[in-house]
Amino acid sequence: MTTALLLTQALLIGNGTYNIPTGYKGKITTHRIHQTERKLALTFDDGPDPINTPIILDALKKYNAKATFFVLGKNAINNPHLLQRIVLEGHAIGTHSYSHSASLSQEQADRENTLTQAIVFQATGVKTNLFRPPYGLTRSYLNKNAIHRGWAAFNWTVSGADTATKNPDVVYKNVCFTPNPGEIILMHDVKPHTAAAIEKILNHLEEIKFKCVTIPELLTPSS
């Protein structure tokens, strides 16, 4: 992709990977990130989705909020323009496997991580080193493979539980019930009820003075 696209990503280093502090590389983080400021990270899994991802991107833009998208290879390959939009609008992008399978062999896991990273790289020029294991399975071959590559893997500390409900108000309440600084919040940009809840969520977080940042920014101590 173009240099102009990459220049929008201040958190990238020379080879197109995210600048991640050493303590987060080659491991999975499952806890809140220590923060002295009211910052948190919204994360969206399983996309990109041609209907719901654009709704979420529009809302993030309206509220000047940044997020991290953990994309599936099988959806990314069909929506390169959405990968580009995610990057161009200043969000971070990570991978979440190709197929979202819970039972891959070691070899299949390696292939899926290679392929999904390559799909994102081809569309955006970002050689992402951010990863989230499907179902949060830290012992899966997918997660072990990501860690072996030195990628920074992240689970979540708050769940919107949008796979367990279709009610936007429930998603809103799950996300907005006493968030703390440094929280990593899980949602899914393939879910219409999450797209329906996102403006209310962003409006509330703004009202209670939280800034939504990408995971790489959340990890960077403020100067």
Q: Which residues bind Zn ion (CB under 5 A)?
A: 45-46, 134
In angstroms, give the least distance from the CB of 123 to Zn ion: 20
How many degrees, rounded to 5, is the angle at CA 215 between CA 133 and CA 104?
A: 10
Q: Where on the phi/psi map is residue 90: left (φ > 0), alpha (ψ -120 to 50), or beta?
A: left
Specify whether the CB–CB gap between 123 and 80 falls below 8 A.
yes
CA distances from 115 to 43, 68, 74 (A): 21, 20, 10
Nearer to Zn ion, 45 or 199 (CB): 45
How far is Cα 181 from Cα 88, in angstroms, rounded to an integer?
26
- The 8-class DSSP code of residue 34 comes to P
Nearer to Zn ion, 134 or 182 (CB): 134
In angstroms, give the least distance from the CB of 193 to Zn ion: 16
- The 8-class DSSP code of residue 12 comes to B
Q: Is 34 a catalytic residue?
A: no
Which residues does 4 contact at the CB level (< 8 Å), separation at least 6? none
Nearer to Zn ion, 134 or 160 (CB): 134
How far is Cα 36 from Cα 70, in angstroms, rounded to an integer?
26
In angstroms, give the least distance from the CB of 134 to Zn ion: 5
In angstroms, give the least distance from the CB of 132 to Zn ion: 7
Nearer to Zn ion, 133 or 216 (CB): 133
Handedness of CA 214, 215, 219, 220 (dihedral sign): negative
Q: Is 45 a catalytic residue?
A: yes
Catalytic residues: 45, 188
